[in-house]
Amino acid sequence: NAGVTQTPKFQVLKTGQSMTLQCAQDMNHNSMYWYRQDPGMGLRLIYYSASEGTTDKGEVPNGYNVSRLNKREFSLRLESAAPSQTSVYFCASSEAGSPSNQPQHFGDGTRLSIL
Amino acid sequence: KQEVTQIPAALSVPEGENLVLNCSFTDSAIYNLQWFRQDPGKGLTSLLLIQSSQREQTSGRLNASLDKSSGRSTLYIAASQPGDSATYLCAGPHSGGSYIPTFGRGTSLIVHP
Q: What is the pLDDT of residues A26-35, one digit of tens each?
A: 999 999 999 9
Identify the weakest region by mean pLDDT among A72-81, A90-99, B91-100: B91-100
**How wide is the angle at C-alpha B22 spanned by C-alphas B40 and B17, nearest 5°?**
75
Closest to B72 (Cα-Cα) out of B88, B46, B50: B50
Q: In 10 A of CB A28, how many CB atoms?
A: 9
CB contact under 8 A, A92 and B44: yes
Q: Is the model more confident about A99 or about B69?
A: B69
| Percentage above 90 pLDDT, chain A | 83
Q: Is A7 on the interface with B (CB under 8 A)?
A: no
Q: Which of A90, A100, A107 sits opposite B98 (nearest CB)?
A: A100
Identify the weakest region by mean pLDDT among B24-33, B40-49, B100-109: B24-33
CA distance A26 to A28: 6
pLDDT bin (cut points 50, 70, 90) of residue B96 is low
Average pLDDT for chain A: 93
CA distance A50 to A71: 10
Name every chain B residue with its beta carbon within 8 A of the beta carbon of A45.
100-101
CA distance B27 to A94: 24
Which runs of E-coded beta strand occur in chain A?
A: 4-7, 10-13, 19-25, 31-38, 42-49, 56-57, 65-68, 74-78, 87-94, 105-106, 110-114
Closest to A5 (Cα-Cα) out of A17, A23, A20: A23
What confidence score (pLDDT) does residue B27 get?
83
pLDDT bin (cut points 50, 70, 90) of residue A1 is low
Q: Is A4 on the interface with B (CB under 8 A)?
A: yes
CA distance B46 to A27: 15
CB contact under 8 A, B101 and A40: no
Name every chain A residue with its beta carbon within 8 A of the beta carbon of B44.
43, 90, 92, 104, 106
Name every chain B residue with its beta carbon within 8 A of the beta carbon of A43.
44, 89, 91, 101, 103
